[in-house]
Structure 1
Amino acid sequence: MEVKLAGQTDLAGFRSEARQLLAHQVPPDEVQWQLQPAGDPFMDPQSPQASRPKNVARAANAIVPASFTRLCEFVVLHRDPARFSLLYRLLWRLVHEPGLRNDPIDADMQQAQHMAHAVRRDIHKMKANLRLRAVQDALGREVHVGCYEPAHHVVEAVAPWFAKRLPATRWAIFTPERSMRCEDGRLLYGPGVAPSELPGPEGTDVDWLACYERVFGAHDSTPVPHA
């Protein structure tokens, strides 16, 4: 059977669907996870999750260790297209094979751990390696801009960290998958920018401002609350 998720990182959707599948005893080899293409790039990325049904079976919660829940938060950000199949297979096995949680060399668990490690490393590299440049917009206001190409789907996971840590009050970061900007503490998202469409290291302030306006200037982006 096909199970549809709202996007590449729809963890809430996965949890909801997985609980229902477990409640109906649907084995992993009968499930095909389908990722819906992203809708309006300026919508709040949490909005698809808000419509998820709440009255689903939660019996597995008492069986599944908290460490697996934390593991899922990173694995869903990996680019491996089979990550949701792997996570549901592990969830199924944790429910039906209690000894799995104490097996440090299980192949499925090791694969998930390696994927989570790769995502953590990607997040760390983006925090450490991203560089911004200050440019002046048409009104003389300073905005810091930069670009980065993460290996995995980590943009929304790392955005709140930048919103807290970057000293600039106005900044924008462009990635191929999704762009983000911050306006006086408000975090907003926009569509991605292909590397071929970015000004690059030799780009002028005019080039970077044109990119900024092209991505954000003509849209009323939706603010996203962050912790």
Structure 2
Amino acid sequence: MTSTATEAKLAGDTDLAGFRSEATALLAHQVPPEDVHWQLQPTPDLYSDAQPPQASRPRNVARAATAIVPASFTRLCEFVVLHRDPARFALLYRLLWRLVHEPGLRNDPLDDDIQQAQHMAHAVRRDIHKMKANLRLRKVRDPQGEELEVGWYEPAHHVVEAVAPWLAKRMVAPRWAIFTPQRSVRGDGGRLLFGPGVPAQEVPGPGASDADWLACDQRVFAAGRRPAGGG
């Protein structure tokens, strides 16, 4: 990083809306990719309703610049930002910069940057499919006799928030919780709550009791059980 580097701060590992906002501002100021340092802030352990990715064009973005970028790049970003590679945001901004300044790039499927981004997107799609197919849940009951389905899974990439809405639509149980090393998600009466991850060594084992799983759920999500809009 040079002394003239510009810092672009993102709110967590999967901040697609933040990337779009930062990238378009950098592009408007003609900041080249090599002068940008992408800084990821720790994902806050806040418990809130899930929000869908912001697909609309960020405010204050020149329409001419937006029109240059193909829709396929926008779709590509939605998957690449979920990849584990720490250089993914730098790659995407470099591609955005080149698409604007090299009009012929969109027609070059053999370009190294395009191929790398497509491979990353493919890996994320595959990881999403694997989580949907391989996730296994266990039913436990709390002291009041209410049922909770729990499970632990270790995805290869940051796909929990992408898979959560799909799970919410297909879960039969009204209450469920999925723990992963980076991020956990809980469904409670149709509401999605996100919390911190649970390392593998802290997850209840195959022979664990219902109480062990309930204690794990309590540690991760107790702070999130508050009315919407509560502090």
Structure 2 length normalisation: TM-score? 0.89
**How many angstroms apart in 2 are the aligned matches of 1:65 and 1:174?**
36
Residues in 1 aligned to 2:146 and 2:200: alpha-carbon distance in whole angstroms = 26
Runs of 4+ more than 2 Å apart: 43-47, 53-59, 217-223
Q: Deviation per CA, 1:107-162, whole angstroms, max 9, x where unpaired?
A: 00000000000000110000000000111111100110001011111110110000
Alpha-carbon shift at residue 82 of structure 1 (Å): 0.4
- The answer to whether 1:206 aligns with 2:197 is no
| Percent of aligned positions that are identical | 75
Which secondary structure does the structure 1 equivalent of 2:177 belong to? strand
How far apart are residue 215 of structure 1 and its match?
A: 1.4
CA shift digits 1:80-127 (9 cap, x unpaired): 000000000000110011111111110000000000000001100000
**Alignment partner of 1:130 out of 135, 138, 154:** 135
Q: 2:70 aligns with which of 65, 72, 76?
A: 65
Classify the secondary structure of the residue corresponding to 1:182.
Answer: strand
Partner of 1:103: 108
Structure 1, 176-185 or 155-164: larger mean CA deviation: 176-185
State the shift of 1:213 in Å.
Answer: 1.4
Alignment RMSD: 1.8
Structure 2 unaligned runs (5+)?
Answer: 1-5
Separation in structure 2 between the aligned mates of residue 36 and residue 179 of structure 1, nearest angstrom:
18
Please give the alpha-carbon distance, in whole angstroms, between the structure 1 residues aligned to 2:175 and 2:112.
45
Does residue 1:146 correspond to 2:151, yes or no?
Answer: yes
Residue 222 of structure 1: how far off its partner (Å): 7.4
Return the alpha-carbon distance in structure 1 between the equivalents of residues 179 and 226 of structure 2. Answer: 15
Distance 1:142 1:201 in 2: 18
Query: What amino acid does structure 1 have at the position aligned with 2:21?
Result: S
Q: Identify if the C-alpha distance between structure 1 residues 6 and 44 changes in structure 2 by more than 3 Å, giving closer, same or farther.
A: farther
Q: Which secondary structure state, in structure 1, belongs to the residue aligned with residue 136 of structure 2?
A: coil
Between the aligned partners of 1:167 and 1:35, the Cα distance in structure 2 is 36
Counterpart amino acid of residue 183 in structure 2: R
Q: Deviations over 1:6-42 (max 9, x none)?
A: 1111111111111111111111111111111122332
Does residue 10 of structure 1 match 2:15? yes
In structure 1, what is the equivalent of residue 220 of structure 2? 215
Stretch moving more, 192-201 or 104-113 = 192-201
Q: Distance in 1 between matches of 2:205 and 2:79?
A: 30
Contact preservation (8 Å) 1:189, 1:221: no
Question: Does the 8 Å CA contact 1:75/1:115 hold for their aligned counterparts?
Answer: yes
Picking from 90, 97, 115, the partner of 1:92 is 97
2:3 paired residue number: none
Cα distance in 1, alignment partners of residues 74 and 25 from structure 2: 16
Counterpart position of 1:180:
185
| Superposition pairs of residues 42-61 of structure 1, within 5 angstroms | 42-43=47-48, 54-61=59-66
Q: Distance in 1 between matches of 2:151 and 2:227?
A: 21
- 2:77 and 2:214 mapped to 1: Cα distance? 38
Compute the displacement of 1:46 (Å): 5.3
Secondary structure at the aligned position of 1:26 is classed as: coil
Question: CA shift at 1:204, angstroms?
Answer: 1.6
Q: How many angstroms apart in 2 are the aligned matches of 1:118 and 1:219?
A: 32
Return the match for 2:39 from 34, 41, 44: 34
Cα distance 1:205–1:40, how it changes in 2: closer, same or farther (>3 A)? Answer: closer
Render the CA deviation track for 1:46-82: whole Å, top value 9, x for unaligned: 59x8xxx732434321011101100000000001000
- Unaligned runs of 5+ residues in structure 1 are none
Letter in 2 for 1:201: P
